[in-house]
Structure 1
Amino acid sequence: MLLTPCLFCLQTPPLSIMTQTISSLPAVFLQMKEADEFVDITLVFGKQRIACHKVILAGMCDYFRRMFLTNMLERGSQEVVLKDISASTGVLLVEYLYSGNIVITQLNAQDLLAASEMLLLGALKKNVEDFLLSHTDSVNCISIINLARLYDLKLLLADARSYLQEHVKEVIETEEMHLLQEGDLIEVLEANASQEENFLFIQKWMKSAEGRTDRFEDLMQHVSLSQCSKDFVCRTVMAEKLMHNTRGMTLIQEFMESNGSADPPKQPSLAVGFVVSGGRSQNISQRECYSYDAQNGQWNTLPPMPTARRSHSSIYHNHHLYVVGGYDGSYLNSVEALDMRNLQWNHLPPLPREVRFAYLAIVSDNLFVLGGF
């Protein structure tokens, strides 16, 4: 049975050719076949019919030998239908059995491998394996891994896996990522020293096919963020939406705690003011908000927060003041935002749980709430 496209898709250009030869019969047998002399069996490959000699087929191929010597239906038949082999492949195989020669290319390698497995042509199967060993690259190594596993080609499987592990950067950019099986992905993650490459590899694998997002948390067990740069974590890891859950935030928080605050920018931005919000007066939580304009040294009164709170966290980004969590007699999970352009407060979706004194960060227009209690 031929390999389904979802497992293997060998790329064709550039065309490579390997000619293989087995111990050949005298040329006269091929001439007799072509002249239809003494032929006694017809092989049918789709619409292609090829007249052959039973004795030649049985002598050169164990599959036909067993067929003609046992009580299979084909033993007494004048034709054998091989529906799993295409016409073009069938012509090559018959030529191979009579002449001992065959041309292996990237166009026919998969079909020849499937046919050699079916017809018990061990020498041809080994020839195809040798051909693929010399034609493994970043574009087809995932397909070759799947093909080698299917046909139990141990040498080819080990070679293709090694190639994949050594060329992660190139393979990430290919169209074959959707063909990579999870077990092979994990092998790469465990063998590859670059944790940043591993995270990018997981990202690409998750997005290459549907139904994989639920595997993200388990796969992240094979990535050590502590070995990634702060810039990579802030720009890439924190921007990944699949990290926006309790487990993901815990990993990011652990990274921040072990590495300290992010490196200061090379050219610090000039502060133009700050905002004071909420607090406590006579043990009562407050709603008031004030902004200080550092350029003219003036305080301005802002619209009060919809919810009085203290012990909350706030951050300013893109003309918005965000207020998160806090305490108003009970712990809060509410999030509110003040649009500084029209001075209107808006309610945002609440946090999964109440929090005080959380650390806030904005990355790629995403608000992250870290830590707190």
Structure 2
Amino acid sequence: MSLNFRNMRHADEMVDVVLVFGETRVKCHRLVLAAACEYFRLMFQTDMQEKAASEIAMKEVSSNTGLQLVEYLYSGNIEISTENAQELLAASDRLLLVDLKKMVGVFLCGQADTNNCVSLLNLARLYRLESLGGISQQFLTDHWKELIETEEIYQLAEDDLHLMVIGGMKSANFYLDLVECLDLETLEWSEFPHLPKALLLPSVVYVQKQLFVVGGEPSSTTTSGDVYEFDSAERAWQPRCPMPQVYKGADAVSVDNKILVLGGVYRVCMQYDPCGDLWIQLQRSQFQHITGRAVVWKDKIVVCGGRDTDSIEEYDPCLDKWSTWNLKMPFEDMCFALIIKGNV
């Protein structure tokens, strides 16, 4: 069907509207535009001025991008490159093309380097692309020494210029409640308000510009299910809804403005919504992944290895479903993972 409509468009058969991109005029079918694009569907079904117009001016969309978008609406295919990605991102956001916006986000996740990671981080925030934001933030954290010498550093927001060290252990029986902050611009340390309790190995997650500390070990024999949020206005840690199940050896990541805790001894999979201060339990992983690392990759969560396992599992938050990769870790007890150039 899409091929027929494409052929009809190229032959100017039954076209009933013209999209104007700068000096370029593209004849189209209202039916196809409405079926493929929520923006046009709403336009043609409501009392917008363009509803009955024979021509629609597509301001802020260049001729080249406009032609690509029309082809995408008719065929579902589009070529994304470093040259057109940013403009496609802006256009897909404006035209409510959710799938295309995700495709561009996935493409940009593979482009992060020291020359653009800050720009990509700012793009991710502007267009609400959490996976891209997480990868850019991780790249920034891993390569901050190199970034100090580049122009990219000056595009950072103030919150990005700080590295937090939370909790820890001074000796076998002496855990810490300290919170210290490194200013990446001045390379000077400062002390934040202490945690409500001393913790070893808590999960630290940054969601919607808010800092959360999840779980951790108050002693060598106990595990905490507590959650704390840092209140920047009050300069204090505030308790939040505790986890429904205490975890040991799991990891936490941020996806779609939620916190997910995965793996560990009890194979947990729990989601926390900061807006509602509410936890829900989800499908458990097949393997424990004790101290295995979780990373967000292509809108999925990949949990890698851990104590006594070389398995890699992938969790789909939209479907609440786990799948196991055929690929294994190089050996058991590998407890790290990161995203580099869009690859785990």
| Structure with more strand by fraction | 2
| Larger Rg belongs to | 1
* TM-score computed with the length of structure 2 as normaliser: 0.49
